[in-house]
Structure 1
Amino acid sequence: MYFHQITRLNYDNMKNTSLHSIILFFAFACAGCSETPENVAPTPGDKFSTEAGTSALEPNPEGEESSDERVWGVYAGKLGLYGQEVAMELIITGNKVSGSYFYARHQKALQLDGTYNEASQKLQVTESYKGKATGYMEFTLLKGELNGFWMKKAGSTEKEDFQASLLPVDEKDYRVVHSVYENKHEMSFYNAEDSEVEMVSDVLKVSQLGKGLFTFYYSVVGGTGHLGSLDGLGETQNGKSTFELDECELQFVFNSTTAEVHETGDCQAFRGARAYFEGSLNKIR
């Protein structure tokens, strides 16, 4: 009986010791399982993630040095009192910011140069054209969204709102190609006594961004001088180029020398009663 008890105790001790050894073996074997491999670098998409609950650029914990990793992204959105369409390329390397943006209406690149604060996710940039400072912008970058303002210079009290969203365009595919189309036509203008006929122009400006995305600005002159203008971000899918905003919808057909525009939705909010976003335009550049 005593021998049986000793044998049983020894068996239990041996079982516990073996189990403990197995646990320790797997603990040491998997010590580095959760660590990121040193040779795998995060992609720009990781930094500019737009998934819910993630930040576009995650701030470093306090006390850690900022990374000098280069992060690239292109955005489209609205700027100014009248919400003009803009497209912006941003490059962030550590705490330095560079890039450019243009208005769909003007198609002129404005250079950007400034700083990025990783803790606050705030960008402060100076805008310039042909080497001359033309403005100042300050905005945050969070979850793939830019939100802030534009002003003539830092410290100005007059500010214009700015919002833009990250576009699904890779840097290798990003290439801005500007085109301008025009349709000259006669238009009758009436006054109290008679009518006058004048030559007027409808103008369409298109800037291709890559991956089928493009910005546009379209202005038209209709009967009795009714005007219309609209800008925005369009998309080409399966050979069909469209723009949609609430009930307003436009369809575009582009080729080497012309562009056709058809108003397939209700765009009255952006034009006079006798002006229509409709017609064929010739490419002039």
Structure 2
Amino acid sequence: MKKVTIIVSAISILSFVFLFSSCVSTGPASGPGKDQGKDASAKPAGPAPREKTVIPPDSSSPEAIMQNTMPYQNKPVFFGIATRLRDREEEQKLALEYAAGQASKFLRLWGKADFLKQKTNTGVGYLQSVETNFDESLIPSLVERLNVVTEYQDNRGTYVVAEFDETLPAPVNYSLKAGSGTPEWVNVPPTIPGYLVGVGVAQAKRTLADSITSADEKAFEEIIKQIAIEIKLLDEYQSVDRVGTSMDSTSLETAQGEIKGFYVVSRMVSPDGRYYYSLAVCPQQNFTD
């Protein structure tokens, strides 16, 4: 792991400690006769999959489709997107692979978040960064475990909603309210029994895919902060000629770890299109202190 050093002028930062924690695995449940070495592409027995609905052109929007990816029959549902290509079939393939990437993040997502707050007599400054990493090599096999239930194409690209054949450890007991505008969960994150909840807010990027990815990362950051975080606060008094003593404070929060079960259940965009919001959950079980 690459070590990062942050140097701030006129402010001393004490050494800090990374605390590593993780959520419990939400992989396939073990049971009698269950092969623990089962290939990722194999599908366990379960209810008959839903049939795919192809939404007619110009009758919806990707922003409407991505609003609700709540579980179906206690199985996660993922949103996939691909920007417009000349070959629309290739577009469909890439959209499904994007959804498979969400499935890979659900199985295992490693991340690190840094947040530095500097407060002086002249104001407050912030420095924030987040890194995430997931296993992209799983995508081909995970595509085989997805069942597309909604597909939509417009002049910007292809969008899919797909069920994943993995069972959640607990129901996500929360009801999304339909409608436009800023969702209520942005300002008041919901309490969902059995889950940590993270709300991500990000400014719009060049593409829709980049915008929702940025908001998803912010939601992940909020969750990982709840799982593992170490804060160091330093109050430094400096003698200043003819001014007296000023107080500067620097707080540094760093959280890193691996979580299993990261899942975005809703994405929204502000009415003016400037901000994207993601509501994510992660199972709250058996944390390591």
Which TM class, normalised by the smaller chain length? under 0.3
RCO (CA 8 Å, sep 6+): is it higher in 1 or 2?
A: 2
Greater share of strand residues, 1 or 2? Answer: 1
Q: Which has the larger radius of gyration?
A: 1
**What TM-score comes out, normalization by structure 1 length?**
0.23
